[in-house]
């Protein structure tokens, strides 16, 4: 009887241990810890998306911005435009669309045929072949070349051994990581991001989806002040502790 009781206590202890739910940690794009209600409020605003990290002992839910609008301060605009012109001969008198990828991978990284990888969480990832990778770049340049005044540039942070020029395609190294330091802090390194940089210093960062009508307006630099004001109001509603300043810029 005594052995049975000891066995039963051990079983109940183990069941309790395995039955315990893990803690969930909620953080914003700056890794500031949030209460769940505050986290959900931001996520419901459509300005954010979340990524869930399974860290064994804790479930980490982190927010990232879908998009961000701002206006460069005059001094920073002058310094940045001067550097882009000097280092990469960019035409800063026209709208610049910068496609930025964290790592430019070597050709051998890509499979011979495009494939889909299914993940444990039920989601999946598309891995393009090298041919599809190049085709995507050419399509990007072709599509935007039809847009009057938009110049397309492809940038990277790390290079694992890919040539910076391949046939008709060119990739640019981020000079002194300036672009990454100025704009990447609200991003997510699991995906590429886009930066529309306008001659007057206005800019639009895209990490995720944006309402289509708003996107069409902003890439053409139409109704900019109206959209900027709307964004600022939405952003500060869910981030009352952050002062965007007069222009919401950097």
Cβ contact 167:155 at 8 Å: no
Q: Report the distance separating Cα 210 and Cα 73, nearest Å.
A: 24
To the question of domain 67-238 being in CATH 3.40.30, the answer is yes
Tens of pLDDT, residue by residue over 122-152, are 677 788 999 999 999 898 888 887 777 799 9
Determine what percent of the chain is predicted with pLDDT higher than 70: 85
DSSP state of 211: -
Q: Report the distance separating Cα 18 and Cα 34, nearest Å.
A: 27
Tens of pLDDT, residue by residue over 14-30, are 444 444 567 999 999 88
Cβ contact 155:195 at 8 Å: no
What's the chain's average pLDDT? 85
Residue among 25, 21, 23, 22 nearest 61 (CA): 25
Tens of pLDDT, residue by residue over 201-225, are 999 999 988 999 999 999 999 999 9
Tens of pLDDT, residue by residue over 40-81, are 999 999 899 998 888 888 999 999 999 999 999 999 999 999
**Domain map (residue ranges) of the chain:** 21-65, 67-238
Sheet holding 95-104, edge to edge: 67-71, 202-206, 193-197, 95-104, 150-159, 169-173, 165-166
Query: pTM of the predicted model, to two decimals?
Result: 0.82
Q: Report the distance separating Cα 242 and Cα 247, nearest Å.
A: 13
């Amino acid at each position: 009887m005594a052995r049975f009781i000891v066995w039963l206590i051990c079983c109940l202890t183990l069941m309790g241990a395995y039955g315990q739910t893990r803690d969930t940690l909620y953080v914003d794009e700056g890794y500031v810890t949030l209460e769940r209600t505050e986290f959900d409020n931001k996520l419901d605003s459509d300005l954010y998306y979340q990524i869930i990290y399974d860290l064994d002992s804790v479930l980490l839910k982190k927010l990232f911005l879908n998009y961000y609008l701002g206006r460069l301060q005059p001094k920073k605009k002058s310094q940045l435009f001067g550097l882009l012109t000097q280092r990469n001969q960019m035409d800063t008198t026209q709208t610049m669309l910068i496609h930025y990828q964290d790592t430019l991978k070597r050709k051998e990284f890509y499979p011979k045929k495009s494939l889909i990888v299914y993940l444990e969480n039920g989601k999946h990832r598309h891995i393009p072949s090298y041919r599809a990778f190049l085709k995507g770049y050419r399509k990007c340049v072709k599509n935007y070349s039809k847009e009057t005044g938009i110049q397309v540039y492809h940038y990277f942070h790390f290079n694992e051994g890919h040539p910076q020029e391949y046939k008709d395609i060119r990739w640019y190294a981020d000079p002194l990581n300036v672009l990454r330091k100025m704009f990447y802090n609200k991003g997510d390194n699991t995906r590429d991001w886009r930066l529309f940089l306008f001659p007057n210093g206005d800019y639009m960062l895209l990490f995720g989806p944006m309402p289509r009508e708003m996107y069409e307006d902003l890439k053409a630099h139409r109704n900019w002040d109206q959209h900027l004001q709307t964004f600022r109001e939405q952003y500060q509603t869910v981030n009352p502790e952050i002062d965007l300043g007069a222009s919401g810029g950097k």
